[in-house]
Structure 1
Amino acid sequence: MTDATTAAEAAAPPTPSVWRNADFTRLWTGQTASLFAAQVSELALPLVAVLALAASSAQVGLLTSVVKLPYLLVSLFAGVLVDRARRKNILIATDLGRALVLSVVPVLYWTDRLGISWLYVLGFLAGCGSVLFDVAGQAYLPRLVEREQLTRGNSALGASQSAATIGGPALGGVLVQWLTAPVAVLAGALSYLVSALTVATIRHQEDRAEQSERVTPAGTLREVWAGLKFVFGNEPLRAMTVMASIFNLSFTALEVAFVQFMPRTLGLSAGEIGLVMAALGPGFLVGAAFAGRLPQRFGYGRTMLVTASIANLVMLGISTVHGSGFLAVGTLMLINFLFASFGVANNVTVLSIRQTLTPDSLQGRVAATNRFVAMGIAPVGALAGGLLGGAFGLRATVLITAIGLSSALVPLALSSLARIRFDLPAQIPLTTPVTKEEA
C-alpha cells in the first residue's frame, strides 16, 4: 500500500455507528428474538418427544435429523425465492409460519392428539422456515447498511447468535422445568411473533426483483444454477466455499471423536466435560465483540488469515492432553475459548467479504449456496469421525481431524483474499460477470 493510500485512509471520516441506523436496530432486535426462539424450540421439541410421548432414542434421533434436513433439501431453492421477493416480507412470513407451526404442538398435546409423526411433520416445517429466515437475513443486511458498516453489523448479529446459542438452551430448560415441554414450545412461538412484529416496523422500502422469465420449474433450476455458477466461477467466493467445506467436514468429524475422547480416553467426569464445553460461550461473545474492529485496523485479508489460523491450529493441542486433572481440564477450556473467539471473528469477516462481493440480485442464492455446502457436508464428516475412531482410536482421530481443520487454511492462503486490505470492491474485482439472465 502506498503512502498516499495510507494518508487517504487516515484522513477518511470515521464510519458512522451501525446502531444509529434505526432499521438495522429493528432487524437486530427481530433476529435476536428469532434466534432465541429457534434455540428454545430446538431443545423443547425433542423433550416433548421424550417427556410427553415417551419416544425411543431412535425416534428422537430421527426427529433431530428431520429438523436439520431442510438445509440439504431446500437451501438452494430458498436462495432463489429470496432473490425474487422482498426480503423483509420473507422474514416476517417465516416468523409467522414458524409461530403457527409450533403453536400446533401444545394444541395437539392438550387435545390428546399429539403423536411422534406430528412432531416429524411440524419439525420439518419449522426447519424449512429457519433455513429461509437464515438466508433472507443474510441477504437483507446489505440493503439496510452501508458497505463499510457490514462488518460491524455482522459482528452485532454474531453476538446475538452467540448469546442465543448460550442462553437459548438454558432458557428452554427452565421453561420445560417450570411450564412443561409443550408450553415451552409455545413460548418459542410467541418469540417468533415478537420477531415478526419488530421486523415489520423496518421502514426501508424494497423494490421487488425484476423477473427475467416466468416462474417455472425449469426457470427455478436455471436460477439455482446461476447462483452455483457465480460462487464457483468467482475465485474469492470459490476459495471461501472450499474452505468452509473442508472446515465443516473436518470439524464435524472432530466433534464426534472429541465427545468420546473426553470421557473414554481422558476419563473426564460429566461435570468436567460441561466446564470444557461451557468455555465456548464466553469465547463466542468475546469474538463477536472484537470482530467488527479487526478488519478496519489490520485489513480484511490479514484478519481472515490470522483468525482462521489461530482458531484451526489451536485444535491440534487437543490430542496432546493427557490425564483428567485440573491441568487437562484447564487446557481444553483454553483451547475451546480460543477456538470460539477467533472462529467467530473469522466468520464475521468472511460473511462481510461475501456480502460485499455479491450483487444484490444474487445475495440470496450465494448465501444459500454457502449454507448448502456448510450443512450438507456435515453428515459425511460425522460418519467419517465414527469410522476413523473405530479404525485408529480416538486420540489419533482427534489429531487427524485437527490436521484436516488446518488444511482448510490452504485455499485461503493461496487465494487473493489473503492479500486484500481495506477496500474490498476495488481490491477484489468480480471474476464472473453478472448477466441479466443470472440476475
Structure 2
Amino acid sequence: MENAKKKINKNLVLLLLGRGVSDLGASIQMIVMPLYILDMGGSAATVGLYSFLALATVLVYPLAGVAGDRFNRKMIMVATDFASAGVILLLFVCAYFHWLNLTIVLVAQILIAVLNGLFDPATKGMVPQIVEQSQLTKVNSGISALRTLSVLLGAAIGSMLYAGVGVTVLFLLNGISFLLSAGSEMLISYRHVKRNERHDAKGNSPGLLADVLDGIRFILHNRVIGKLCAYFLLTFAFIQPIFNVVMPVFFRGSLGYSDIHYGYLQMVIIIGALLGSILVGALFGKSIQLKKSLTIGCSLMAGILVFFTVLLFPFCLEILGNDTIIYFLLLAVVLCLLSAVLMFIHIPVQTYIQIATPHDYMSHIFSIVGMITKGGMPLGALLYGFILEKVAVHWMMLFTTLLTLMISGFFLSSLLKSDQIG
C-alpha cells in the first residue's frame, strides 16, 4: 500500500509540475499577444478575432472526448504538448527571421486551441485514475490553484518581459515550457485500460457520432450530472462575463480611475480564484460534500451579486464617489469574493462528475462539460455585449442577479432533495 501511495504521489507531482510550467508559459503568451498584435499594426477587431478563435477548442471537444476514452490518455497528453511546442517554436523561428505576420499568428492560435481541446479531456480523465477517490477534491483544488497562480504570475510578468526581451524570446520560453511539460508527463506511470467496446447487431464498433451521442445520453440519464451541467452553463454564461464584459464597460463609462487601477482589479479577481481554490481544498479535501459546498457557494454568490449590483447604481456612486479609495476597495473586495465563491461551485461539481462517471466514459463526459464551460463564456459575453448597447449596466446587472437568484434557488431545492449525493 505504501508503494502504491508513493506511486500515485509521484504521478501527481509529475502531472502538476508539467502543467504548472506550461500553464505559466501559456499565460505569459496570452497576456502579451494582444499587445503584440496591436504593435504589428492590428486593430481592436483583430485582437477580438484572435480571442474568438480560441473557440476552436470547443469545436474539437467531441472528438477529444472519444479519443480520450478510446486511446492512451498519457500518450494523447504527451503528443499534444509536443505538438503545441512545435507550433510555438515555429512562431519563434518566424519572429527571429522577421517572417511573422497576422495571418501566421491567427493560424497558430487555431492550432494551439485545437491541441488544447484534445489535451484537456484526456487530463481530466486521467486524474481519477492516478489519485485516490477520497483525495479528488483536494487534488482538483490544487490543480485549479496552480492554474490560477500561473495566470496570476503570467499577468504580473508577461508585460514586463515583453518590454524587456521582446516577443521572440517569449515564444522560445513558451515552446520550451511545453517540451518540459511533455517530458514530465512521459515519466508518469500509467497503464491504459482498453475500454469494453460496444458493438451493433452486425458486430461493428460504434463510430465517432455514436460515441458522442452515447456520452450525451449518459448525462441525460444521470439526473444529478445533467442538473450540474445545466448549472455550470448558467455560471459560465451569466456570471463569468461580469469580469470581462460588465466590468470594462462600467469602469470606462462610470468610474474615474486610471488604467493602473483596472489592472489592480484584474489581479484581485485572479487572487480571489486562487484563494477560493485553496479554501475548497482545505474545507472539503477529505470528502466531496457536494450539497454542503454548493449550498455555501450558491448562497454566497447570490449575496455578493446583490451587493455588486447595488454598487453599480448611480445613487451609490453619488454617495461614495466614483474615484474614491473607499469605493475602489469595496469594488475590489466584492470582485475578489465573487471570484472565490465560484470555486465552491466549479471544483466540487468537477469532483462529483469524476466520481460518478465510469472510467471508459470519463473523457466523453468532460468533453461535453468542456463544451459547456468554454462555449458558455463567449456566448454569454456576446449576449451581454448586445444588451449593454441598449441597456444601462446597472439595470442589466439587476436583471442578471434576479435571474441568477431564481435559478439558483430552484437548482438548490432540487439538488437537496436528491439522495444520490452527500
- TM (normalized to structure 2)? 0.89
1:132 aligns with 2:118: yes
Q: SS at 1:153's partner residue?
A: helix
Q: Are the counterparts in 1 of residues 55 and 375 from structure 2 also a CA contact under 8 Å? A: no
Residues 69-116 of structure 1 deviation map (CA, whole Å, 9 limit, x = unaligned)? 223311121111111111111111111010000011121122332221
Aligned equivalents of 2:288, 2:8: Cα separation in 1? 25
Q: How many percent identity over aligned positions?
A: 23
Aligned equivalents of 2:230, 2:168: Cα separation in 1? 41
**Which residue pairs with 1:192 in the alignment?**
178
Map 1:81-100 onto structure 2 (within 5 A): 81-100=67-86
**C-alpha displacement of 1:337:** 1.7
Q: 2:45 aligns with which of 25, 36, 58?
A: 58
Q: Which amino acid aligns with 1:91?
A: M
**Which residue pairs with 1:27 in the alignment?**
15
**C-alpha displacement of 1:56:** 2.3
Q: Which amino acid aligns with 1:374?
A: T
Q: Are the counterparts in 1 of residues 296 and 344 from structure 2 also a CA contact under 8 Å? A: no
- TM (normalized to structure 1)? 0.85
Q: Which amino acid aligns with 1:398?
A: M
**Which residue pairs with 2:259 in the alignment?**
270
1:398 aligns with 2:387: no
Q: Are the counterparts in 2 of residues 18 and 153 from structure 1 also a CA contact under 8 Å? A: no
Distance verdict in 2 for CA 1:40–1:219, change over 3 Å: same
**C-alpha displacement of 1:378:** 2.6
**Which residue pairs with 1:363 in the alignment?**
362
Residues 370-422 of structure 1 deviation map (CA, whole Å, 9 limit, x = unaligned)? 111122233332222123223221111122223344344245313346766xx
Distance verdict in 2 for CA 1:168–1:210, change over 3 Å: farther
Q: SS at 1:366's partner residue?
A: helix
Aligned equivalents of 1:201, 1:417: Cα separation in 2? 42
**Which residue pairs with 1:409 in the alignment?**
408
| Number of residues of Structure 1 aligned to a counterpart in Structure 2 | 405
Q: Which amino acid aligns with 2:132?
A: E
Distance verdict in 2 for CA 1:50–1:389, change over 3 Å: closer
**C-alpha displacement of 1:172:** 2.3
Q: Which amino acid aligns with 2:386?
A: L
Q: Which amino acid aligns with 2:373?
A: A
Q: 2:33 aligns with which of 28, 45, 48?
A: 45
Aligned equivalents of 2:94, 2:410: Cα separation in 1? 50
**C-alpha displacement of 1:252:** 4.7
Q: SS at 2:390's partner residue?
A: helix
Q: SS at 1:78's partner residue?
A: helix
Q: Are the counterparts in 2 of residues 49 and 60 from structure 1 also a CA contact under 8 Å? A: yes
Aligned equivalents of 2:161, 2:255: Cα separation in 1? 34
Q: SS at 1:205's partner residue?
A: coil
1:69 aligns with 2:58: no
Q: Which amino acid aligns with 1:134?
A: D
Q: Are the counterparts in 2 of residues 87 and 140 from structure 1 also a CA contact under 8 Å? A: yes
Superposition CA RMSD, Å: 2.6
Distance verdict in 2 for CA 1:298–1:36, change over 3 Å: closer
Q: SS at 1:160's partner residue?
A: helix
Aligned equivalents of 2:7, 2:349: Cα separation in 1? 21
Q: Are the counterparts in 1 of residues 76 and 119 from structure 2 also a CA contact under 8 Å? A: yes
Aligned equivalents of 1:178, 1:254: Cα separation in 2? 32
Q: Which amino acid aligns with 1:380?
A: L
Comparing 264-273 and 243-252, the one that deviates more: 264-273
Map 1:247-286 onto structure 2 (within 5 A): 247-255=235-243, 256-286=245-275
**C-alpha displacement of 1:275:** 2.8
**C-alpha displacement of 1:29:** 1.0
Residues 1-45 of structure 1 deviation map (CA, whole Å, 9 limit, x = unaligned)? xxxxxxxxxxxxxxx999971111111111111221221222233
**Which residue pairs with 1:305 in the alignment?**
295
Aligned equivalents of 2:98, 2:166: Cα separation in 1? 15
Aligned equivalents of 1:410, 1:231: Cα separation in 2? 22
Q: SS at 1:268's partner residue?
A: coil
Q: Which amino acid aligns with 1:251?
A: I
Aligned equivalents of 1:102, 1:228: Cα separation in 2? 34
Distance verdict in 2 for CA 1:42–1:349, change over 3 Å: same
1:319 aligns with 2:309: yes
Aligned equivalents of 2:255, 2:283: Cα separation in 1? 36
1:163 aligns with 2:153: no
